[in-house]
């Protein structure tokens, strides 16, 4: 997907009170940043922010951090947050590769990955956010009983993601190849913009919930 560059997006994001401008200074300090002892949950690849803000609104006793590397996309999330002004959401513009430099050991209790870039070429496999190399990064910051939830409409990416679990020492708690027709796993499901669009075309949505 080609992203349209928005002039001044980085500056506008940096100026927002809902943005963490220096994330490398946040490691081990997230309770202080939010001003409470509530659990911290993160979405890697937060896009335009609908999913994480709907979650935050439904769970005011949980703190949420949305991570997105594309400024023009994250700006849309910031604009939505400026309208909703949810006190339990913050955003970071950064690459996911440095996640263990931003969150401390066991500082996060849940991670969400939604419709991540499939990086279809085999030589780019370890760039996929569900690859064993990324699972090892998540292992560094997730609580011992924490979990990761992943949704996609890309069957090849989902198959790859399932195969990576054993390599990285994770196991699936729940798996579905058709989320919206799975009564148990679809209960309480919050859709992303992509999910709504893809499912409207009749595409099945794949999801897993995994732990170590």
What is the per-residue pLDDT across 108-157, written as a single tens digit (0 to 9) for each? Answer: 999 999 999 999 999 999 999 999 999 999 999 999 999 999 999 999 99
| Side-by-side strand order, sheet with 89-93 | 89-93, 63-68, 40-44, 108-114, 142-152, 206-211, 171-176
Domain borders along the chain are 9-211
Domain 9-211 -> CATH class: alpha beta
Q: For residues 72 and 2, is the Cβ–Cβ distance under 8 A?
A: no
- pLDDT of 43: 98
Residues in the chain with pLDDT values less than 70 = 1-5, 7
Whether 54 is a known active-site residue: answer no
Q: Which of 37, 61, 109, 117 is catalytic?
A: 117
| Spatial separation of the C-alpha atoms in residues 16 and 155, rounded to whole Å | 37
Identify the pLDDT of residue 4.
57
pLDDT of residue 7: 67
Residue 36, pLDDT score:
98
Q: What pLDDT does 154 receive?
A: 97
Tens of pLDDT along 155-164?
999 999 999 9
Q: Residue 1 has what pLDDT? A: 43
Report in angstroms the alpha-carbon separations of 118 from 86, 109, 125, 192, 198.
31, 25, 8, 17, 15
């Amino acid at each position: 997907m080609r992203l349209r560059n928005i002039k001044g997006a980085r500056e506008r994001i940096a100026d927002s009170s809902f943005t963490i401008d220096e994330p490398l200074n946040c490691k081990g300090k997230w309770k202080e940043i939010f001003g409470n002892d509530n659990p911290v949950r993160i979405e890697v690849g937060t896009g335009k922010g609908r999913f994480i803000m709907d979650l935050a609104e439904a769970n005011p006793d949980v703190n949420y951090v949305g991570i997105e590397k594309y400024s023009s996309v994250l700006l849309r999330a910031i604009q939505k947050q400026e309208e909703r002004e949810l006190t339990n959401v913050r955003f970071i513009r950064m690459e996911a590769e440095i996640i263990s430099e931003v969150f401390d050991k066991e500082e996060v209790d849940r991670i969400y990955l939604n419709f991540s870039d499939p990086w279809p070429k085999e030589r780019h496999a370890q760039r996929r956010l569900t690859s064993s190399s990324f699972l090892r990064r998540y292992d560094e910051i997730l609580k011992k009983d924490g979990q990761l939830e992943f949704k996609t409409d890309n069957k090849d990416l989902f198959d790859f993601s399932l195969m990576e679990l054993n390599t990285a020492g994770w196991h699936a708690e729940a798996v579905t190849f058709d989320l919206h027709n799975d009564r148990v796993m679809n209960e309480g499901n919050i859709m992303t913009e992509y999910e709504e669009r893809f499912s409207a075309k009749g595409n099945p949505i794949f999801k897993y919930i995994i732990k170590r």
